[in-house]
Amino acid sequence: MAIDTEWRDYDVIVVGSGGAGSHAANAAAEDGARVLVVSKDPIGCSDTKISEGIATVRASGADDDTEAVLSENLRVAGGDLPVEAITDAFAEDSKTAYDRYRVHGLRPAIDTGRDTPQPLPLPLGGHNKRRSVGHVNSGVAFGHANWNAVLQSSQIDYLEDAWFLDLVTGDDGTGGKRIVGGLIYDASRGLLVAVRAPSVVIAAGGLSTLYFPKTDTMRGNTGDSYAVAARAGADLVDMEQVQFLPFCLASPPSYEGLLCGEPVTASFLGVLRDARGKVILDGVYLRTRAECSAAIMRAVEAGRGSPNGGAYLDMTANKRQPRSGPYFMRFLQTCLPSAYRNARQALGKSAAKCEEPWEVRPGAHYLMGGVRVDANGASVGGEGAGETTAGIAGLYAAGQAMGGVFGANRLGSTSLTEGAVFGVRAGKAAAAGAAARAEIDDAAFGPLIDEAGRRFGQKGDIAAATLKLELQRESWDCIGPVRTAERLDRMDGLIADWSARLGRVAIPAYGTWNQAFIELEELRNMLETARLVSIAARERDGSLGGHVRLDCGEISAFAQPYSTIVRRDADGALQVRRVARPRTPLKRLLAYKLQENWRKVQVKMLRLMPPGMQDKQLEKRYRAIMGGGGSAPEIVPGGAEGAIGEATKA
Amino acid sequence: MKVDIVTHRDGEEAVVAYEYRKREEGERPMALDVLLQAQATAMPDLAFRYGCRARNCGVCTIDINGKPRIACRSRVRDGDRLSPMATLPVLGDLVVRRDGIARQMRGRLSGGAQGNDLNVEAPEVYHDLTACIECYACLNGCPMHARNFGGGLPGNMPDGHQPPDPAEGYRWGNPFSLLKLQRIRVDPLTAEAGRETAVDHAVELGLDACVGCAGCKCGVGIDLMGQVVAELLEAAKGRVSESGGSPAGRQGK
């Protein structure tokens, strides 16, 4: 064989070194486990590092922000798809998990009166309380904390430039599966590393690279978390729920996909227009991300899209107002500074002054589904919220890799907290599980080592990087922001075709940084993930949250909620089914709906006012948000709900 | 537009003259655009690092005409030469091994926290230092870092010097490792003993190389000389040679 295999033993393998991975490793090590962190990118260089750096910290802004309030907020926003035990865990741990970032060096501003981290002045992105804490240097400050968390502990070994290829499983003695380790390609040393370990925590992020360049996330999001779990036979949940940000740049090419705004930044008079100038969505600032994305994509579908496959975000009416216009500009510039900077650099001066509309297009941002787990990140199967006895023993997932926290919609600023909460929980559970380790049979690794080894020196006439590009184009069209049964069929056909060609990919024999091999492995994961999304998207035959079906209607908030569950059966065939979720009591749902409609009526009234009166009204509102000094609070990429509704309730 | 791309495969170096096709009129592509297009067309197995495409993640640094640049936000011109960062060993094409830098900080990061109260604000300088995206552009011309390679570069070491094993963590430091140590010193949660230990670590990593050095340059504009090096030198006064301890002198200038 062209490549050597090194053998190692650990208690816990953690795949990924971002917010979830670093906390999992640290927590497991704290409980005495010997931990190996495997990261294909340099340590800490994850979506956490490039985020807006705003984290949900319960009760940072209000004493009545109880665990029950936050937990329900998550579930209602998520269309009742989230699992109650999991949202409860999020609410219970958000403060202590956030403090772990601080132990590793994150330093927020402090509200000395309340003796808590200082939250932003308004509830954000669908939150019903002020609880989002912003940070200097945004995600980079979190990146340092994650890096420190991995590097600091002598109990943690790590490999960077190392691709986790597959889980290795064995029989758990009761007819189920258990983890016995994993196989890794260490590109910097040119070796396969076979690791015997009873626990593996998957924290390898999301899948947005399926849609590259129509995404604002890290390149490494090739669906590794989901593909690895699915191939091992784990359940995955709500895989159709991909969150798209509506306002990403469509040009110039170097800026394609980067974030340029959120519904909230469109402010009171921002509208979406098609290529002919017709308004396709008004009251943008009150809309969800999904509503905005769907409006843009429907215009594109009807042949009225912009030259680069998007639409126009027109904020010129805000700017033209003599009194409130200057406030708007300050709001726009400071609300999401990095997004505004992207727009200014990409679209030029006149657009930056909002003297002309911006061409925008949705971009993939986050997968709200993922590996199906319990509140400790342990793999589950079966009915309802699931049971660990029906999952894979020793398998855990945390962060974007896991499902069940957000369902169909994600509140703003929750993902950094999610990483820490479930990273810590999964790390602790993995360490505890590893204490009862059973004998590991090396023979279980054999087939995987052989298969990976054979790839080196594989003869062929195709480049995996080229197939990857085809897959990315088709994923946007078929399993992207809008879907139809016909396109899902087309996707399945293409995936089968590409998969059949993997054996024809040419790979040189050398071991050190073999890019062709890396491309092949990532392509394999992207194909598997695309399959999971496609089959779940077919099962969800109506639009809900991040999932928009052009050929079906909306799924009513009053219908019986369900999650989609996908898994490979014993024969390797992909199966999909539904599990019912409890619905929020009707009375509470009605209250939410009423509030939402009232906000829409208000925006209509504002838009129809005589100009002078409207301008005065707007000035009053901006002053209320921005304070007397006129300095706007920094507001995050908001959540799915018309978050801005709360934000602008002046 | 022609751009030279330096590749390394299985120990062999080659230069590929890549013809970049502009995607729109007047396009002034970033280095990363050139690499992505090359990978999508003529060079499907081209190896290079990138992440966020917005100058945040710090992984896409390469040398453009011999100077470290963040590829996603550096425009290229006709005739430019793209090569791997010269300051670290090459793994493949434009990918260098970064591991030896982070690893040298193992066991050197603890500040020995004082008390349990996390609700203390950090001074502005703490945030100035936390702006570091770890792009490693600062390694360029650093005499302290060059000591790891006998005073030269990993690809061009003087005779008689063995390349260090990055998996062990490099023996000698660099502006990034000093920044990490200084950050511990300005953290209000660091205990007094921790502040002193941070200076000890800086001295161990070769702080004497900074004496008389013309200075390092940060890829994202942090004042490394003023906020890191000068502060550490002041704290280590009397412990590093006053006459300048940089045996290798300034590289790459």
For the stretch B181-224, pLDDT in tens is 999 999 999 999 999 999 999 999 999 999 999 999 999 999 99
**Structure-model confidence comparison of residues A286 and B72, the more confident one:** B72
In B8-27, the residues whose Cβ lies within 8 Å of chain A are 9-10, 23-24, 27
Amino acid sitting at position A460: G
Q: Is the pLDDT of residue A640 over 60?
A: no
For the stretch B91-117, pLDDT in tens is 999 999 999 999 999 999 987 777 778
Using DSSP bridges, classify how beta strands A199-202 and A395-397 pair: parallel, antiparallel or unpaired. parallel
Write the residue in B29, B110, B121 that is nearest to A254 by C-beta: B29
Amino acid sitting at position A88: D
Dihedral-angle region of residue A518 (phi above 0 means left; psi in -120 to 50 means alpha; beta otherwise): alpha
Q: Which of A543, A138, A252 is nearest to B30 (CA)?
A: A252
B108: closest chain A residue by CA: A152
For the stretch B232-247, pLDDT in tens is 999 999 998 765 544 4
Predicted confidence at residue A591, as pLDDT, reads 84
- Test B167 with A189 for CB contact under 8 angstroms: yes
Q: Is the pLDDT of residue B229 over 90?
A: yes
Q: Which of A142, A178, A179, A109 is nearest to A21 (CA)?
A: A142
Predicted confidence at residue B116, as pLDDT, reads 72
Average pLDDT, chain A: 92
| CB < 8 Å to A142, chain B | none
For the stretch B36-94, pLDDT in tens is 999 999 999 999 999 999 999 999 999 999 999 999 999 999 999 999 999 999 999 99
- Test B57 with A258 for CB contact under 8 angstroms: no
- Test A154 with B93 for CB contact under 8 angstroms: no
CATH topology of domain B2-96: Ubiquitin-like (UB roll) (3.10.20)
Structure tokens at A600: 């829409």
Predicted confidence at residue A143, as pLDDT, reads 98
Q: Are A514 and A482 in contact (CB under 8 A)?
A: no
Query: What is the helix (H) or strand (E) element at residue A365, kind and residue range?
Result: strand A358-367
In B53-82, the residues whose Cβ lies within 8 Å of chain A are 53-54, 56-59, 72
Query: What is the helix (H) or strand (E) element at residue A198, kind and residue range?
Result: none
A627 pLDDT tier (thresholds 50, 70, 90): low
Q: Are A649 and A620 in contact (CB under 8 A)?
A: no
Predicted confidence at residue A634, as pLDDT, reads 40
| Residue found by looking up tokens 């793209």 in the block | B82
Predicted confidence at residue A289, as pLDDT, reads 83
In B110-149, the residues whose Cβ lies within 8 Å of chain A are 110, 113, 118-122, 126-127, 130-134
- For A341, residues 6+ apart whose C-beta sits below 8 A from its C-beta are none
In B193-252, the residues whose Cβ lies within 8 Å of chain A are none
| CB < 8 Å to A519, chain B | 44-45
3-state class (DSSP) for residue A318: helix
Percentages (nearest 5) of helix, strand, coil residues in chain B? 30, 15, 55
Least confident range of A69-73, A292-296, A367-371, B243-247: B243-247
For the stretch A199-255, pLDDT in tens is 999 999 999 999 999 999 999 999 999 999 999 999 999 999 999 999 999 999 899
- Test A137 with B45 for CB contact under 8 angstroms: no
**Structure-model confidence comparison of residues A70 and A173, the more confident one:** A70
- Test B45 with A110 for CB contact under 8 angstroms: no
Q: Which of A126, A109, A222 is nearest to A529 (CA)?
A: A222
For the stretch A271-281, pLDDT in tens is 999 999 999 99
For the stretch A504-521, pLDDT in tens is 999 999 999 999 999 999
3-state class (DSSP) for residue A455: helix
Quote the CA–CA distance of A17 and A24 in Å, as a whole number: 9
Q: Where are the alpha helices (DSSP H) in A219-336?
A: 224-231, 289-301, 316-320, 325-335
b (16+ CB within 10 A) / e for A145-171: bbbbbbbbbebbbbbbbbbbbbbbbbe
| Min Cα separation B144/chain A (Å) | 22
Distance of CA B194 to the CA centre of its chain: 25
Distance of CA B66 to the CA centre of its chain: 14
Q: Is the pLDDT of residue A564 over 90?
A: yes
Q: Model's pTM, two decimal places?
A: 0.95
Predicted complex ipTM exceeds 0.90: yes
Report the DSSP beta bridge partners of residue A242: A367
Domain boundaries, chain B: 2-96, 99-235
For the stretch A3-40, pLDDT in tens is 999 999 999 999 999 999 999 999 999 999 999 999 99
For the stretch B57-67, pLDDT in tens is 999 999 999 99
**DSSP secondary structure string for all residues of A400-448:** GGB-SSSTT---TT-HHHHHHHHHHHHHHHHHHHHHTPPP--GGGGHHH
B127: closest chain A residue by CA: A136
Q: Where are the alpha helices (DSSP H) in A83-170?
A: 84-103, 138-152
A122 pLDDT tier (thresholds 50, 70, 90): low
Predicted confidence at residue B14, as pLDDT, reads 97
A650 pLDDT tier (thresholds 50, 70, 90): very low
Predicted confidence at residue A630, as pLDDT, reads 45
A644 pLDDT tier (thresholds 50, 70, 90): very low
Using DSSP bridges, classify how beta strands A358-367 and A242-249 pair: parallel, antiparallel or unpaired. antiparallel
Distance of CA A12 to the CA centre of its chain: 24
| CB < 8 Å to B51, chain A | 41, 45, 50, 218-220
CATH classification (class only), B99-235:
mainly alpha
Query: How long a stretch of residues is chain B?
Result: 253
B104: closest chain A residue by CA: A151
**DSSP secondary structure string for all residues of A540-567:** S-SBBTTB-BTTS-BPPTTSPPEEEEEE
3-state class (DSSP) for residue A226: helix
Q: Is the pLDDT of residue A646 over 70?
A: no
Quote the CA–CA distance of A194 and B34 in Å, as a whole number: 37
Predicted confidence at residue A1, as pLDDT, reads 57
Structure tokens at B130: 């936390």
Distances (CA, A) of B183 to A144, A373, A509, B172, B222: 11, 38, 44, 19, 13
Domains delineated in chain A: 5-241+368-444 (3.50.50.60), 245-363+591-647 (no CATH), 459-580 (1.20.58.100)
Using omega within 30 degrees of 0 as the cis cutoff, is the peptide bond preceding A263 cis? no
| CB < 8 Å to B109, chain A | 148, 151-152
For the stretch B144-185, pLDDT in tens is 999 999 999 999 999 999 999 999 999 999 999 999 999 999
| Residue found by looking up tokens 């708007």 in the block | A328
| CB < 8 Å to B39, chain A | 465
Angle, vertex CA A277, rays to CA A271 and CA A278, nearest 5: 70
Write the residue in A188, A253, A342 that is nearest to B99 by C-beta: A188
| CB < 8 Å to B47, chain A | 513, 515, 518
Predicted confidence at residue A649, as pLDDT, reads 26
The backbone torsions φ and ψ at residue A545, rounded to the nearest 5 degrees and listed phi first, read 55, -125
Half-sphere exposure of A647 (CA within 13 A, CB side): 34
A51: closest chain B residue by CA: B56
Predicted confidence at residue A638, as pLDDT, reads 30
| Mean pLDDT confidence for B115-120 | 85
| CB < 8 Å to A469, chain B | 40
Report the DSSP beta bridge partners of residue B49: none
Write the residue in A109, A219, A510 that is nearest to B50 by C-beta: A219
What torsion, rounded to 10 degrees, do the Cα atoms A334, A339, A345, A348 define?
A: -80
The backbone torsions φ and ψ at residue A179, rounded to the nearest 5 degrees and listed phi first, read -75, 135
Q: Which of B59, B145, B110, B117 is nearest to A140 (CA)?
A: B59
**Taking the CB of residue B160, how many other CB atoms lie within 10 A of it?**
6
| Min Cα separation A448/chain B (Å) | 24
What torsion, rounded to 10 degrees, do the Cα atoms A30, A31, A33, A35 define?
A: -30
Quote the CA–CA distance of A53 and A183 in Å, as a whole number: 33
Percentages (nearest 5) of helix, strand, coil residues in chain A? 40, 20, 40
**Taking the CB of residue A278, how many other CB atoms lie within 10 A of it?**
11
- Test B47 with A147 for CB contact under 8 angstroms: no
Q: Are B59 and A42 in contact (CB under 8 A)?
A: yes
Quote the CA–CA distance of B181 and B110 in Å, as a whole number: 9
Instruction: Say how many CB pairs under 8 Å bridge A and B.
Output: 156
- Test A338 with B54 for CB contact under 8 angstroms: yes
For the stretch A296-347, pLDDT in tens is 999 999 999 999 999 999 999 999 999 999 999 988 887 778 889 999 999 9
| Min Cα separation B122/chain A (Å) | 6
| Mean pLDDT confidence for A248-266 | 92
Q: Which of B77, B165, B179, B91 is nearest to B128 (CA)?
A: B179
For the stretch A406-416, pLDDT in tens is 999 998 889 99
- Mutant choice from A37, A106, A110, A151 vs B, greatest count of B C-beta within 10 A: A151
